[in-house]
């Protein structure tokens, strides 16, 4: 008797297969490619508010974040993540002067920032094992942004697209 490709076998063997597929999917979506919804406007226009993406975790298993790279960092536990851009690395100095980002005393060209700002923050040196993260939507008031120095260990991956 020929079996239907789409029909499920409810025998013991079929249930074991179903369990293995469910376990593999759970491990994949937890450890490798976690789905996420963007719930803030700090990365507009690069990423839209309420957009859907995936956090690709293998990127930093063997590598380090680069300046200009968009990353996903743990903010509160595993449930609340920040989607931000790396603007400075460990040992760099970073400051905002009249809305301009300066890294190591030099103004940074940021083609991804579409709206200007008037941020002023004093120069600070980034500690070892840390990076400095900022959102692309600088038109938002500084008080509405979550940004700054964060431990490299809190960076979990990059958006898949």
pLDDT, tens digit, 9 for 90 and up, residues 106-154: 999 999 998 888 899 999 999 999 999 999 999 888 888 889 999 999 9
Q: Does some domain include residue 71?
A: yes
User: Can you give the pLDDT at residue 3?
Assistant: 61
How many domains would you assign to the chain?
Answer: 1
Q: Look at residue 9 and tell me if it is in a domain.
A: no
Instruction: Tell me the CA distances in angstroms from 140 to 10, 44, 108, 143, 146, one per residue in order.
Output: 55, 10, 19, 8, 11
- Residue 45 in any domain: the answer is yes
Mean pLDDT, range 41-57, rounded to an integer? 92
42 within domain boundaries:
yes
> Does residue 77 form part of some domain?
yes
pLDDT reported for residue 117: 87
User: What is the predicted pLDDT for the residue at 5?
Assistant: 56
pTM: 0.84
Mean pLDDT of all residues in 7-34: 84
The answer to whether the CB of 65 falls within 8 A of the CB of 149 is no
Residue span of the structural domain in which 136 resides: 33-159
The CATH number assigned to the domain holding 84 equals: 2.10.109.10
Residue 6 has pLDDT above 70, yes or no: no
Per the domain annotation, does 26 fall within a domain?
no
Quick: pLDDT tens for 58-107. Answer: 999 999 999 999 999 998 777 788 999 999 999 999 999 999 999 999 99
Percent of the chain scored above 90 by pLDDT? 63
Evaluate whether 94 touches 126 at the Cβ level (below 8 Å).
Answer: yes
Does the residue 74 lie in any domain?
Answer: yes
Distances (CA, A) of 113 to 42, 84, 89, 100, 140: 11, 12, 19, 11, 12
User: What is each CA distance from 101 to 37, 56, 93, 95, 109, in whole angstroms?
Assistant: 28, 28, 11, 6, 8
Average pLDDT in the chain:
90
The whole-number pLDDT of residue 111 equals 92
19 found inside a domain? no
């Amino acid at each position: 008797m020929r079996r239907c490709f789409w029909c499920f076998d409810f025998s013991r063997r079929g249930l074991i297969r179903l369990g293995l597929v469910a376990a593999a999917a759970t491990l994949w979506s937890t450890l490798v490619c976690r789905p996420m919804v963007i719930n803030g406007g700090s990365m507009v226009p690069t990423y839209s508010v309420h957009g859907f993406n995936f956090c690709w975790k293998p990127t930093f298993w063997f590598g380090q974040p680069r300046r200009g790279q968009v990353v996903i960092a743990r903010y509160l536990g595993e449930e609340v993540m920040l989607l931000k851009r790396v603007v400075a690395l460990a040992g760099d100095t970073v400051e905002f002067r009249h809305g301009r980002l300066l890294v190591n005393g030099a103004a940074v060209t940021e083609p991804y920032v579409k709206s200007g700002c008037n941020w002023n923050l004093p120069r600070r040196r980034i500690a070892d094992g840390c990076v400095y993260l900022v959102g692309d939507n600088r038109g938002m008031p500084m008080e509405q942004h979550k940004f700054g120095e964060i431990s490299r260990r809190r960076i979990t991956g990059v958006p898949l697209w």
